[in-house]
């Protein structure tokens, strides 16, 4: 069993304190996600960090509410904005996102209809149980948000590889362009 954590005060600016694990996702970790495979392969030469996830030291266990701050660096791959891998919670568990800095969006997909929630500092995005979710940086500065989720939610990444996310988010003349796929 996971040892209990005490009540705590967590602060953040660029970092989260006290901090738990920090996860770094590079371009090479995003295989099979961008539509333009040639552009993705070309980007592997530099293999930039696409996003980082800093977590609080709260265990992923039933009854707990872990938090994490994701920072998605700006950029595009063949016109498609930098984004997270995306996942669905294997258990029916909701999640809350709060926009902290930069601009982006929360893409939701229940396997049937995709939904797009534009995110900016102060926006709360709600992910109901049963909806896969991915975050996208649609601006030219880092997009950062806080996530809070039930500790027993789990993460299924293969679901997104199998089912997609309903939309691709591309850079358009008048802002983000949602292209069905
Ligand atoms: O709990 C969440 O949904 C987020 O903290 C994500 O895990 C984070 O944004 C990284 O995305 P992903 O887990 O899809 O790589
Ligand atoms: Ni989640």
Q: What is the pLDDT of residues 108-164, one digit of tens each?
A: 999 999 999 999 999 999 999 999 999 999 999 999 999 999 999 999 999 999 999
Asked whether 68 lines ligand 1 (CB < 6 A), one says: yes
Instruction: Encode 136-157: b = buried (16+ Cβ within 10 Å), e = exposed.
Output: bbbbeebbbbbbebbbebeebe
Q: Which of 3-7, 12-16, 172-176 has the highest mean pLDDT?
A: 172-176
Asked whether 147 lines ligand 1 (CB < 6 A), one says: yes
Q: Which pLDDT score, from 0 to 100, does residue 17 have?
A: 86
Rounded Cα distance between 45 and 28, Å, is 10
For the chain, domains (ranges, CATH) are: 11-180 (2.60.120.10)
Nearest to 95 by CA among 143, 57, 128, 56: 128
- Quote the ligand 1 centre to 134 CA distance (angstroms): 7
ipTM of this predicted complex? 0.99
Q: Looking at the CA of residue 25, tell me the nearest atom of ligand 1.
A: 15
Q: Give the residue, by CA position, lying nearest to ligand 1 atom 4.
A: 147
Rounded Cα distance between 141 and 146, Å, is 17
- Quote the ligand 1 centre to 40 CA distance (angstroms): 21
CB 149 within 8 A of CB 55: no
Rounded Cα distance between 165 and 72, Å, is 18
| CB atoms near residue 129 (< 10 Å) | 14
């Amino acid at each position: 069993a996971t040892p209990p954590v005490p009540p705590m005060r967590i602060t953040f600016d660029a970092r989260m304190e006290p901090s738990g694990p920090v996860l770094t996702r590079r371009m090479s970790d995003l295989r099979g996600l961008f539509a333009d495979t040639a552009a993705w392969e070309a980007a592997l030469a530099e293999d930039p960090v696409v996003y980082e996830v800093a977590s609080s030291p709260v265990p992923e266990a039933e009854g707990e509410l872990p938090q994490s701050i994701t920072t998605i660096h700006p950029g595009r791959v063949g016109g498609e904005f930098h984004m997270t891998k995306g996942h669905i919670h294997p258990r029916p568990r909701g999640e809350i996102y709060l926009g902290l800095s930069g601009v982006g969006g929360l893409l939701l997909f229940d396997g049937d209809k995709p939904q797009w929630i534009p995110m900016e500092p102060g926006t709360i995005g709600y992910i109901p149980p049963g909806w896969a979710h991915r975050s996208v940086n649609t601006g030219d500065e880092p997009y950062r948000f806080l996530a809070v989720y039930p500790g027993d939610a789990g993460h299924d990444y293969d679901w997104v590889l199998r089912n997609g996310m309903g939309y691709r988010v591309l850079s358009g003349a008048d802002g983000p362009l949602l292209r069905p796929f």
